[in-house]
Amino acid sequence: MDTGYGKGEADPSSGFASRAMHSMAATVRPFVSKRALKAYLGIIIFLFTAIFMIFISTVAYGIFYYRFIPQVGLERIVHLQFGDGYPWGTASLGSGLVSSQPYDVQVELELPRTPSNLAAGNFMLDLALLSRPSASAETGLNTSVAALSQSRRPAILTYASPLVDTASKLSFMPFYVLGWHREAETLQVPMMERVQFARGWRNLPDSLRLEIHSSETMQVYKAKVMFRARFTGLRWVMYNWRLTSFVVFGCLFWSVSMVSAGVVWVILATLLSGGGEPPRAVVKAEDRSGTPIKAEEDDEPIFPAEIPESSSKAPKIKRDEDSEEEEVKEEEEEEEAVKEEESEALAEAEAEAEEDSREDRGEGPSGAAGIGTAVESAHARGVQRRRSHHFRDNQA
């Protein structure tokens, strides 16, 4: 099928397609180069590291909050002992208290409004916080216990006149009958305010002892000792502003983690690249003006398909190599031409010498001189032609 284009003419559609392909390749090439791929890999590693450090920061803040913020409230039920002097009881505190933290301590008593309790009037509460028992060197048993803190406070049931007491009982009679209410009163007596303990496990209380001192025999439904932490400073901020503290300290932990990871990355990269890289091969070439051109291995290769068809100039390095090859060929051709001219001149000189010898019939010296003169003249003519040829090339 005849396309309408001769051998020397190009198809416009193919030229347009090639130009479009070349423009697309030129546009995409920066995004798929080695530097771009390294940048993509670095971004991916940074994102994964950042996400992992967020998880680490969250766990670190949780551990820090658990270790730094103590238990806010601590309650212990005291089982009172009766029949041997004043009612008394002990309870173990365990490891709920921490050092250098102020606490408010109060005793809660649930007392029935019996005639003996009402007749007791004021009575005293004695609370002592005891240290860990120390073992005896002789017997190996726990013998001595020291009181780290002790307090005595008064307490009394609320007074009510007979008329008010009778009216109250009559109004609450249905609740008393149904069991929804009972004739008792709960007293909360503050025993200690902002008490704190020195550092060290020996300075923390391990147990407590509660006694009720009264002139009358007391009846008690339930006795309980409560510890309430009074936060100050950073602990108060972290406890009362939990979400804000989580965001601030989480970001702080994340920043420290990222900086630490960056430092470790730089150190590892320095150690791994400490051996040095082998010297890169450098290809040197010269253009027509004699200026050296360096081509290193890191340079991206230029493929023939990427060179536009409209470009009529080849790369400098290739052009310089072609020019050097052409010069070498021209010199070889010149040398061959000079040799041929010398051989022709020598043959002519020999022919002239033979003719002269035939004419002179035996004059050898003149013939030999003619031969030498002819050879020298032929050599001089060849050298003169070669110099004139080089002079013309230099001018060109």
What residue ranges do the domains of the chain occupy? 14-66+243-272, 73-230, 304-395
C-alpha 218/C-alpha 94 separation (Å) is 29
Residue 113: closest CA among 225, 220, 222: 220
Those residues whose C-beta lies under 8 Å from the C-beta of residue 231, and which sit 6 or more positions away, are 69, 239, 240
Those residues whose C-beta lies under 8 Å from the C-beta of residue 22, and which sit 6 or more positions away, are 306, 308
Q: Is 203 exposed, middle or buried (0-12, 13-18, 19+ CB in 10 A)?
A: middle
Which of the four pLDDT bands, split at 50, 70 and 90, describes residue 132?
confident
Which pLDDT score is estimated for 326? 74
Is the pLDDT confidence value at 166 over 60?
A: yes
Residue 156: closest CA among 181, 112, 131, 124: 124
C-alpha 297/C-alpha 256 separation (Å) is 40
Which pLDDT score is estimated for 310? 46
Is the pLDDT confidence value at 91 over 90?
A: yes
Of residues 360 and 115, more confidence is placed in: 115
Q: Which residues make beta-bridge pairs with 184?
A: 112
User: pLDDT (tens digit, 9 = 90+) per residue, 303-323?
Assistant: 444 444 444 444 455 555 566
Burial track 290-302 (b if 16+ CB lie within 10 A, e otherwise)? eeeeeeeeeeeee
Which pLDDT score is estimated for 275? 52
The architecture (CATH level 2) of 73-230 comes to Sandwich (2.60)
Is the pLDDT confidence value at 12 over 60?
A: no
C-alpha 171/C-alpha 164 separation (Å) is 11
Residue 99: closest CA among 193, 205, 192: 205
Could you say which DSSP state residue 29 is in?
Answer: G
pTM, rounded to two decimals: 0.54
To the nearest 10 degrees (0 to 180), the angle between helices 34-68 and 242-272 is 140
Average pLDDT over residues 44-69: 90
